[in-house]
């Protein structure tokens, strides 16, 4: 199986030993505690599950700035985005060297992790701007990722963590949330050697389904891992439970047995375009995928990034040898009326726009909310029915 990034072994930070876990939970009740941001909580969950191997905890400001600039920490460790724990005020810490980090996304703010505090640093406006510009490519506060990153506070606490809970993800999505450890184990159990991963924050329509089939066939893969984001999205995006139901129905009906896994991970979407695409590839390698699909405007939002910037960054900015996972570079896929099948648009040079079945996201949402199924060339009827039921429930 493909090795994890920068390590021979996966390094999950979740405390699996039950005796040690109970001991730490008891200790947490005696420690100063901080309720952290949703973004920091997602980082802790990802580290707990082994997705961010070989990180051992939250970065210092120096490491975060270095990663933002060159995708390497001050010690040379490759990582594509800063992993910070930013808070408004560290007064509650005093001079404590251990602190309980509490979950902002669950009632009662349960303990998520314990941190050994190595540094408490104030982040200047200039440093925040520098990181924002390099990671998101813009300082525009209308960008949802920029707004979320800059709303967390200006005090960074850093140090190794021991993760004690997977937030609401394990409770709310018991059939879908999986750690990198669990996905690696299932890949091994299924006997898959070549595995392609597909990232989604949306339901999968026919073009997405066929793109996965294309990738599996061309890459000669044994299996597909559909890996959906279960954390916070921007307003208007379809909730995770609805996406989950729609994707599971598609896999049940249109993929052969033992060819596709439906899984999810706990993280808030950054909408950081190219940088987030590299992060997506990073943790897909850690979960055991040998290949990863990156299409047009991957992890983008609005018009902040070029259509294929999330592909070219792997050739132009990712340090050579940093990742072993291979990128399957896809174009926009759509149903060809001429060929009566879904194709990549760049592979149909004799087509005009009118030769494809193309519907905007806005148009699809309008149709679904009116109880009108999109044409079968765009969406499987069983998937459309689940989405129509959701939109009807909003009225």
**Residues annotated as part of the active site:** 201-202
How many angstroms from the chain centroid is the CA of residue 203? 15
Structure tokens given for 264:
């999810």
Structure tokens given for 241:
């439970």
E strands present in the chain:
33-35, 57-58, 86-87, 98-102, 111-116, 119-122, 155-163, 195-200, 223-229, 260-265, 291-294, 326-329, 333-336, 341-344, 356-357
Q: Are 121 and 94 in contact (CB under 8 A)?
A: no
Question: Could you tell me the strand order of the sheet in which 291-294 lies?
Answer: 260-265, 223-229, 195-200, 291-294, 326-329
Sort strands 195-200 and 223-229 into parallel, antiparallel or unpaired.
Answer: parallel
What does the alpha-carbon distance between residue 82 and residue 132 come to, in Å, rounded to a whole number? 10
Helices and strands of the chain, counted as H and E runs: 13, 15
Residue 228 pairs in a beta bridge with 200, 264
Peptide bond before residue 54 is cis, with ω within 30 degrees of 0 = yes
What does the alpha-carbon distance between residue 341 and residue 170 come to, in Å, rounded to a whole number? 38
DSSP string over 29-74: TTS-EEE--HHHHHHHHHHHTTTTTT--EEPPHHHHHHHHHHSB-T
Question: Could you tell me the strand order of the sheet in which 333-336 lies?
Answer: 341-344, 333-336, 356-357
Best CA proximity match to 268, nearest among 244, 310, 227, 233: 233
């Amino acid at each position: 199986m493909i090795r994890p990034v920068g390590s021979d072994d996966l390094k999950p930070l979740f405390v699996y030993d039950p005796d040690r876990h109970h001991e730490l939970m008891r200790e947490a009740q005696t420690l100063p505690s901080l309720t952290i941001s949703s973004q920091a909580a997602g980082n802790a969950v990802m580290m707990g599950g082994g997705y961010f191997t070989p990180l051992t905890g939250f970065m210092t400001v120096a490491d975060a700035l270095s990663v933002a600039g060159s995708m390497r920490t001050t010690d040379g460790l490759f990582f594509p985005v800063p992993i910070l724990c930013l808070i408004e005020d560290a007064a509650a810490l005093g001079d404590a060297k251990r602190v309980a980090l509490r979950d902002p996304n669950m009632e009662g703010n349960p303990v998520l992790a314990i941190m050994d505090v190595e540094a408490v640093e104030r982040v200047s406006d200039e440093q925040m701007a520098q990181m924002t510009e390099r990671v998101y490519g813009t300082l525009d506060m209308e960008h949802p990722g920029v707004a979320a990153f800059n709303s967390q506070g200006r005090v960074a606490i850093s140090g190794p963590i021991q993760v004690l809970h997977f937030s609401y993800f394990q409770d709310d999505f018991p059939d879908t949330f999986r750690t990198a450890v669990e996905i690696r184990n299932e890949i091994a159990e299924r006997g898959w050697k070549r595995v392609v991963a597909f990232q989604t924050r949306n339901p999968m329509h026919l073009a997405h389904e066929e793109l996965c089939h294309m990738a599996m066939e061309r890459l000669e893969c044994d299996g597909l891992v559909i890996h959906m984001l279960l954390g916070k999205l921007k307003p208007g995006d379809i909730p995770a439970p609805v996406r989950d139901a729609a994707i599971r129905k598609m896999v049940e009906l249109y993929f052969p047995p033992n060819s596709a896994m439906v899984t999810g991970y706990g993280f808030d979407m950054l909408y950081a375009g190219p940088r987030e695409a590299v992060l997506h590839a990073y943790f897909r390698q850690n979960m055991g995928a040998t290949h990863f699909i990156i299409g047009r405007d991957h992890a983008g939002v609005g018009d902040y990034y070029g259509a294929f910037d999330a592909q070219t960054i792997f050739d132009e900015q990712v340090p050579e040898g940093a990742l072993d996972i291979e990128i399957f570079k896809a174009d926009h896929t759509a149903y060809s009326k001429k060929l009566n099948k879904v194709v990549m648009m760049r592979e149909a040079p004799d087509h005009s726009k009118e030769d494809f079945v193309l519907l905007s996201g806005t148009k699809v949402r309008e149709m679904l909310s009116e109880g009108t199924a999109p044409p079968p060339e765009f969406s499987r009827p069983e998937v459309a029915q689940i989405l129509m039921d959701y939109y009807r429930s909003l009225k």
